[in-house]
Amino acid sequence: MNQPVFNKLKFNQSALSWKVVGVTRNTIELSWEKRAGIVEYLLTSTGDNSGEVIYQGPDSTFTIDSLRSNTRYTYFLGGRTADGKRVTPTLVLGKTAVRETPVAPGFLKEEFKTTDAVLLVWDLGAVDGGAPRYHVKRDGETFDIVGNNAIFDTVPQQGRSHVYCVSTLDDEFYESEPICIEVSFDDITAPTNPENMHVEEVLVKVRWTPVYDSSGRVTYHLDQGLGNPVGTTPEPWYLFTGLQPGRPYEMGVTAFDESGNQSERVVIHYPAQGIPPQRK
């Protein structure tokens, strides 16, 4: 006797259809096809946290939260039957909405000031997400990030003008334009005493009466002792440099014309003879 034949329904393993239902600055709401036979849907992340389970359950809608604004996100969507059959995963794309730029405080002023401290206050800024915080800079460098609308600087430099700037931060560190103020501080502290004062180099300028030569063109040759020439000049003066303090020097000058004729060598001593050199 012939046995009856039962047609067994084949499970549809094709990828699920999906759509983005709504977005905010920090959420993406997804909806997907509710297919017969599927008992559990699985939404997983891609990218750096690939495989991380975002949603697992029987529902066909889910809202992903705690996202960053104006950012694109991708996920894989799949599903399985009670006996373990799975549909082909499909790639899900979504992008959060753009967040408004924070609004800077309307004013910034010094509430109290002494020679070594200042209290700054400002009115509240506005943010499009989270509670506002304030980025305080002094002379272009971060001074502090605070949650209230005042700050006390106890370490300004006397005799200087500091520029303070305050900008509003949201919870994603988007920042407003800064509002700035310049605060000047009196100087009541004398400079420290000079220390380790010493002579490092001695400069000596020597001068003489110009010589006569019928050619009218004379060059002077300078030395610091016979056999130790240091330079030439057409002018009736010369600057000796690099002299060491505490040492005596003999400085000589000889005049030459263009034919090579030369005068006698004339010398001067430094310090002048009879004056002992200074000790270091």
Task: Residue 223: give its domain's CATH number.
Answer: 2.60.40.10
- How far are the Cα atoms of 15, 144, 167, 277 from residue 177, in angstroms, in the given order? 47, 16, 6, 65
Is 244 contained in some domain? yes
pLDDT of residue 248: 92
In this structure, is residue 61 part of a structural domain?
Answer: yes
In a domain, 9, yes or no: no
In a domain, 258, yes or no: yes
3-state secondary structure of 4: coil
Tally of structural domains, the chain: 3
Domain contains 216:
yes
Please, what sign has the CA dihedral across residues 171, 173, 176, 181? positive
Determine the Cα–Cα distance for residues 210 and 256; give it in Å rounded to an integer.
Answer: 12
Task: Compute and round to an integer the Cα radius of gyration of the chain.
Answer: 44
How buried is 11 (Cβ within 10 angstroms: 0-12 exposed, 13-18 middle, 19+ buried)?
Answer: middle
Phi and psi at 188, nearest 5°, equal -115, 5
Q: Are 86 and 114 in a shared domain?
A: no
Same domain, 25 and 88: yes
Look up the domain containing 249 and give its range.
202-270
- The answer to whether residue 254 is domain-embedded is yes
Q: Which of 151, 184, 217 is the last residue of a domain?
A: 184
> What pLDDT score does 72 carry?
93
- pLDDT at residue 6 in the model: 46
- DSSP designation for 181: E
The identity of residue 67, as a single letter, is: L
Q: Is residue 190 part of a domain?
A: no
Residue ranges of the chain whose pLDDT lies below 70: 1-9, 273-280
Torsion of CA 92, 98, 99, 102, to 10 degrees: 150
Residue 134: what pLDDT?
A: 98
Which two three-digit tokens encode residue 138?
């002094």
pLDDT at 2: 57
Q: What would the two tokens of residue 172 be? A: 């994603």
Burial zone of 118 (CB within 10 Å; 0-12 exposed, 13-18 middle, 19+ buried): buried
The reported pTM is 0.55
230: helix, coil or strand?
A: strand
38 inside domain: yes
Q: How many CA atoms lie within 13 A of 96 on its CB side?
A: 17
60, 95, 130 - which closes a domain = 95
Report the DSSP beta bridge partners of residue 95: 72
Tokens matching residue 270: 């430094």
At 2, give phi and psi (nearest 5°): -70, 135
Identify whether residues 66 and 129 lie together within a single domain. Answer: no
Q: In DSSP terms, which residues pair with 55 in a beta bridge?
A: 43
Residue 132 burial (10 A CB sphere; 0-12, 13-18, 19+): buried
